[in-house]
Structure 1
Amino acid sequence: MTTRKERLKATLNQVPLFLGLILLWMLLWGSYSGLTVLTGALLAVIVSVGFYLPAVELGLRVNLWYSFVYFSRLLFDIVLGSVQVAVLALSPRYTPSNAIVAVHLRTRSDFVLTLTGVSTSIVPGAIVVDVDRVRSTLYLHVLNVHRPEQVEKFRKGVLAEERRIVMALGSRADVERLRRVSGEDRSEKDQHARTQHAREKRKRGGIT
């Protein structure tokens, strides 16, 4: 049985969606009259009740420096991606070779998942084609992929984008999880590197 505080929190989480639907309705009609607001509010209620979706938990945390870094890098990526796609389109030697790349995010926030998908899709050259919300995984269609190294480079780029978003706008829980998982990833990589080094030494007849 939900408590009064939980019901209030769930209601407040629906407010951004409600206001967003009203704004979208006004933009579609190109009118900001009272009648448009009223009909938009009525439509928002119908959509919110008839097509209910789980509320997205917002961290309500903003780091100004990391926000500047995030938006600056996003703008740079958009410009760079536009130039790269234009070069491909004009190149007579271009051979289409695309790929569907799965990127498993390290956080479990719907907000971070959504913002990472949007940020990646608005950069020319890649677009989200599917989302696995349970596993926090994005599936993206990527242009001009010829080698496995390019796939891994793209995946690292998306994870770096996720990190910038978490540091700028994510909750404290998102930040802690990101740091914890990243630390585990580094430990696994270090262990793998040590194992590979030991194997190479054994092959050369060295002592481990």
Structure 2
Amino acid sequence: MSPERQSVMTQVWRQMPFIVWLVALWMLLWGQFTVLSLVTGLLVSLFVTRVFRLPPVELSGRVNLWYGLVFLATFVGSLVRGSLLVAWQVLNPSRYPGTAIIAVPLRTDDDLIMTHVGVTASLIPGSLVVEADRDRRILYLHVIGVSSDEDVRLQREAVQRWESRIVHAVGSRAQLEQIRAAGTRRPGGTPS
């Protein structure tokens, strides 16, 4: 096999999870799980990844199913809890739920992890990512239900725990080490 062909095959193999995701998304959008939708989804995903020349998504190649399940269970629990909390804040007119924009420094330097953390934080009712500073690895979130510095600290730590769960589920070994090293430091970056 020629080096050029091997390079193309390596690139396609690295993009395979992304292609699988696009095919699944295609099938969900059409609401059909048939051979025809599978084939057309595959063709569309190959077309999108080849024609639009998106930057390659560098995956760690590591998936931990246990931590993936822990992430999923915790996420569902947080969705329910966040929904109930926001509903209570809306139904309780005697108490104004304070709001804040908070900066959350992430401990890993990876665009995909940052995206996963941002999406996770935004999907949980009560918080929304309003900006992402990619160079400094900081997510800025608009949060409701914040009335003190302690609430801000707790929200920041909650987002960093999401980062930790995501890295444990799909992050590289180097990212795991970054999370572990940062675990001995306070969120502000100073040693405990």
TM-score (norm. length: structure 2):
0.79
Give the CA deviation at 1:103: 1.5
Give the CA deviation at 1:19: 2.3
The SS at the match of 2:145 is coil
State percent identity of aligned pairs: 40
Asked which structure has the greater CA Rg, the reply is 1
Q: Would the aligned equivalents of 2:23 and 2:42 in 1 still touch at CA under 8 Å?
A: yes
What is the one-letter code of the residue matched to 1:46?
F
Give the CA deviation at 1:94: 3.6
2:149 and 2:121 mapped to 1: Cα distance?
Answer: 20
Superposed, 1:1-208 pairs within 5 Å as 7-95=8-96, 97-183=98-184, 185=186, 188-190=190-192
What is the one-letter code of the residue matched to 2:121?
T
Give the CA deviation at 1:7: 4.6
Change (3 A) 1:7 1:130: farther
TM-score (norm. length: structure 1):
0.74
Q: Would the aligned equivalents of 1:56 and 1:110 in 2 still touch at CA under 8 Å?
A: no
Pairwise CA RMSD: 2.8
Unaligned ranges ≥5, structure 2: none
Which range moved further: 77-86 or 57-66?
57-66
Unaligned ranges ≥5, structure 1: 191-208
1:64 and 1:41 mapped to 2: Cα distance?
Answer: 25
